[in-house]
Amino acid sequence: MVTTRSTTNTIPAVEKERLLFVPQKGTKYRKGDYAHACKQQPIPMNELPRYLTDPDMVPKWEAPILWLGWLITEEDLLKLVEAHYPDEYDLCQGEPDVDCIFNLPDALRKEYDVSPRMHECVDIAIVARQDGTRTTALSVGCSSIGIIKLQTVEDIQTKFGLQRPPEWLLDGREWKWARRTYTVRNPKKPKERTI
């Protein structure tokens, strides 16, 4: 089976009382709920509620996506690539632009031998700030996948001189709870009948 996100977002009131990132009023998302959700984060690394990572805790609902990482502007990410991975920076040929920052996750995956299963965790994520604007973050974990080895997280933090530990940051696009729907990957074809 394949899980897909539904576009209808009506959250049962019983579940709503104990969840982060739910509508302020009622059970449907409305104008202003995005800003409200953004104010509920970042969440410290070791304080992420389990229901945001364990789909069995809130059956029928898919939690918003959160990224474990550091808010870093595109310009600062570009400086990190230039300073720590000059070969990746040179691959940008000519005048480096913002696209060079997307070489950084690949370089980190190779350097720290991140398992293929965890590749998506080491990324440049588009996340929401507390004020509701979107920005970039260097991520080392994802609430729907997991976290890379903690020693690797610490090594990356030290390498780049990041003063604070990573925090859980709300995804800039998938910030809502979504009704979990199930679809069958290869449905059987109905048998033809002859009359």
**How far are the Cα atoms of 8, 10, 33 from residue 27, in angstroms, in the given order?**
11, 5, 11
Q: 148 Cβ partners below 8 Å, 6+ apart?
A: 112, 114, 118, 121, 122, 140, 141
Tokens for 124? 């440049």
Among candidate residues 4, 29, 20, 8, the one with its CA nearest the CA of residue 58: 20
Tens-digit pLDDT string for the chain (195 aa): 444 555 455 554 434 446 899 998 878 999 999 999 999 999 999 999 999 998 888 888 899 999 999 999 988 998 898 889 887 776 666 665 677 788 899 999 999 999 999 999 999 999 999 999 999 999 999 999 999 999 999 999 999 999 999 999 999 999 999 888 766 566 565 555 555
Span 112-145, pLDDT tens digits: 999 999 999 999 999 999 999 999 999 999 999 9
Span 100-112, pLDDT tens digits: 788 899 999 999 9
**How far are the Cα atoms of 13, 123, 143 from residue 175, in angstroms, in the given order?**
19, 18, 12
Beta strand 122-128 with 134-142: parallel, antiparallel or unpaired? Answer: antiparallel
> CA-to-CA distance for 180 and 169, rounded, in angstroms?
22
Tokens for 1? 């089976």
